[in-house]
Amino acid sequence: MADPKNMQFREAETRYTLLKLNAGSSVSLVGVGSVGKSNFLRHILHRDIESAYLGPEAEGLHLVYIDPNNMLDALPPVAGTTNPNSWAGYEIMTHRLYRYFQPRFESMPEHVGRDLFQVYQNLQDGGNPLTPHVALRNFEYAVDLIIRQGLRLVFVFDEFEVMLAEMPTKFFRTLRGLRDDYKYQLMYLSVTRKALPDLIVENKYDYDELEPFIELFSDTTRFIGAYSSRDALDVMKQMIDRQGTALNARAQDLIIKVSGGHAGLMRAAYSLAYELPDTADEAEVAERLARYRAIQAESHTIWLSLNGAEQAALYNLMGNKPNAIDPRATETRMLTEKQLLGKAGDTYVVTPPLFRAYLKTQVR
């Protein structure tokens, strides 16, 4: 995990995300599995980090974290209907809104905390058959209470795939509608393993219904890649301090190079550092570590984070077909942005070395 005092951690990604949000844009963060997306979110959720990048304007911008894995089960459909309702989405967003601002109620007019508490109580009234039907109205009022205090809200959706899978499309249309009502005072930050259009196509969601919401992120999608060299060294030091396993400078450098600074691969390689021969070079280290289950599990997670076209491109490349990579193809650009494809002279190579060594064991 990043040291919250390290203001330079993932500097480029932090600057992009916070400045876009502060400018009133919603942002989509995309990164392959175990690349450190949740760690990055924890970093930017620190008020000190927000203040360092936004200055005094950070006081008016509030990032409310939502983990869709903590959503409650949906209430039964409204009487006379069979459609799933959006109550669970509004419930968790209202609950997290109340929990976030509760320590700040003393600096607000007295009615704000009281009314927000009552809104949440309304959402919990399971005995009222209208509860799921009017959940949106309660949530709207909760958002309005906060924005009327001159504050701007960002709902941060970690693992947004879960919400896409469990919420009806109408839920996302209402989120878009609220955004339109409040313009640059209400934003969303989604975090996923795959780009939002890929998720919609892969899961056969109704694109036409979701398009108004997805459109919010069309020009503000940022890929979260591996750590920079500086960040990788900092994370390596933290792992050594936390686990107490001493590593010489050469071993640390090898682990960072073969993992490419990918967070999950770095952790797995560090746990296997005792297996590394003192004289092994980078290629030998990658091949040795790729035999271990921990490295294979992390690599498979990366693989599952790719769409079919991206997987096919890598298979072709690993199958000794370097000319099969079209530099103009969308998948080439996407793999490059995800730091899983790089240039070596006139040809492309799979990166990082650990992931490449893993794919070698899968291609026959």
**What integer pLDDT is reported at residue 96 of this predicted model?**
98
**Residue whose structure tokens are 């498979």:** 300
Per domain, the residue ranges of the chain are 11-223, 229-362
Which range (41-45, 59-63, 215-219, 340-344) has the least confidence? 340-344
The CATH number of domain 11-223 is 3.10.180.10: no
Instruction: For residue 187, give every residue at least 6 positions away whose Cβ sits within 8 Å of its Cβ, in sequence order, or none.
Output: 21, 24, 25, 26, 27, 152, 153, 154, 155, 179
Using CA of residue 142, residue 144, residue 147, residue 149, what is the dihedral sign? negative
Q: How confident is the model at residue 80 (pLDDT cuts 50, 70, 90)?
A: low
CA 354 to chain centre: 23
At residue 232, does pLDDT exceed 90? Answer: yes
At residue 226, does pLDDT exceed 80? Answer: yes
**What integer pLDDT is reported at residue 130 of this predicted model?**
86
**What integer pLDDT is reported at residue 280 of this predicted model?**
84
Instruction: For residue 276, give every residue at least 6 positions away whose Cβ sits within 8 Å of its Cβ, in sequence order, or none.
Output: 251, 254, 285, 288, 289
At residue 345, does pLDDT exceed 80? Answer: yes
DSSP string, 301-321: HHHHTS-HHHHHHHHHHHTT-
At residue 323, does pLDDT exceed 70? Answer: no
**What integer pLDDT is reported at residue 76 of this predicted model?**
78
Strand pairing class (341-344; 186-192): unpaired
Q: Stretch 20-28: mean pLDDT, rounded?
A: 98
| CA-wise closest residue to 188 among 176, 171, 199, 200 | 176
CA 92 to chain centre: 18
Q: How confident is the model at residue 7 (pLDDT cuts 50, 70, 90)?
A: confident
At residue 92, does pLDDT exceed 90? Answer: yes
For residue 67, which phi and psi values (nearest 5 degrees)? -105, 105
Q: Which residue has the higher pLDDT, 81 or 158?
A: 158
Measured distance CA(123)–CA(131) in Å, rounded: 6
Q: Stretch 47-68: mean pLDDT, rounded?
A: 97
DSSP state of 329: S
**What integer pLDDT is reported at residue 303 of this predicted model?**
97
- Measured from the Cβ of residue 147, the count of other Cβ atoms closer than 10 Å reads 16
**What integer pLDDT is reported at residue 346 of this predicted model?**
82
At residue 5, does pLDDT exceed 80? Answer: no
At residue 211, does pLDDT exceed 90? Answer: yes
**What integer pLDDT is reported at residue 177 of this predicted model?**
98
Q: Stretch 148-177: mean pLDDT, rounded?
A: 97
Q: How confident is the model at residue 320 (pLDDT cuts 50, 70, 90)?
A: low
Q: How confident is the model at residue 347 (pLDDT cuts 50, 70, 90)?
A: confident
Using CA of residue 229, residue 55, residue 148, residue 23, what is the dihedral sign? negative
Q: How confident is the model at residue 171 (pLDDT cuts 50, 70, 90)?
A: very high
At residue 1, does pLDDT exceed 50? Answer: no
At residue 364, does pLDDT exceed 70? Answer: no
Percent with pLDDT over 70 in the chain: 96
Measured distance CA(177)–CA(227) in Å, rounded: 36
Q: Stretch 69-83: mean pLDDT, rounded?
A: 79
Using CA of residue 336, residue 339, residue 341, residue 346, what is the dihedral sign? positive
**What integer pLDDT is reported at residue 79 of this predicted model?**
66
